[in-house]
Amino acid sequence: MMSLVPQPYLGWGVRSMLHIPKDRTVALYGGLLLSDDFDVKSRYVVSMEIDGKRYFLDGNKGPRTLGIYVNHSCDPNCAMTWYVYKGTVMMVIISLRRIEPLEYLSVDYGPTYEINGPCCHCGAANCPDLEAFREYRRTTIPTINSGWGPSL
C-alpha cells in the first residue's frame, strides 16, 4: 500500500505504508509511449532502449499512476525497469532492498537528470550536492503546491 504525500523540497512523493521486501514490484509508471518526440516541458518523461531503439514514456500523458511521483535519490531504494506484457511495454518500479513503513520511495534518475534549482534535493549521504542542499535548506522554506494535491 502506497500513499501520495507532500515531500519537503521535492513537491509530492510516494511513501510506503507497509514493509516491502526486496525485489518486489512497487508501482507502475504509466503514461504514453512515444518513439520519437515528447514534450520537453513535461516533468515526467523517462527513456528506455528496447531492441536498440530509444523510446520515451511521458507520465503526463495517458494513464497517470503513483509511479510518476517517485522522486530522485542518489541513494535510491528502488529502480525502474521495463518488460513487455501481452504486447504492451510496461515500466515498473521495483524495490532494491527492504523498504520500511513510512519510507519515501526513490529511484536514481540517472546521469541525464537535470536538477531543477541550485542543487540536487535528495539529501542522501553520498549526494555530490549534499553541502549545497544543506545550505539551501538553511535559507529556504519548503513549499507544497496549493490545493488538494495532484490529480491522478
Q: Which position has the grid cell 507520465?
A: 59
Does 132 reside within a domain? yes
Q: Is residue 126 part of a domain?
A: yes
Half-sphere exposure of 110 (CA within 13 A, CB side): 8
- How far apart, in whole angstroms, are the C-alpha atoms of residue 50 and residue 70? 23
- Asked if residue 144 belongs to a domain, the reply is no
Residue 145 counted as domain residue = no
Q: Alpha-carbon distance 58 to 64, whole Å?
A: 10
The pLDDT assigned to 111 comes to: 62
Residue 128 domain-assigned (yes or no): yes
Amino acid at residue number 143: T
CA atoms within 13 A on the CB side of 139: 6
Length, in residues, of the chain: 152
- Does residue 152 sit within a domain? no
The two counts, helices (H) then strands (E), for the chain are: 1, 10
Query: Which domain does 46 fall in, by range?
Result: 2-109+117-139
Per-10-residue mean pLDDT for the chain, 152 residues long?
Answer: 84 92 91 70 72 78 83 91 77 94 90 61 80 71 50 48
Domain count, the chain: 1
CATH number where 40 lies: 2.170.270.10
| Residue 77 placed within a domain | yes
CA distance linking residue 108 with residue 84, whole number of Å:
22
Residue 74 lies in a domain: yes
State the Cα–Cα distance between residues 103 and 77, nearest whole angstrom: 9
pLDDT of the residue at 100: 97
- At 64 the pLDDT is 78
Residue 33: predicted pLDDT: 73
pLDDT at 117: 58
In the Cβ-directed half-sphere of 91, how many Cα atoms lie within 13 Å? 27
Q: C-alpha cell of 51?
A: 531492441
pTM for the whole structure: 0.76
Whole-number pLDDT of residue 57:
78
pLDDT of residue 16: 95
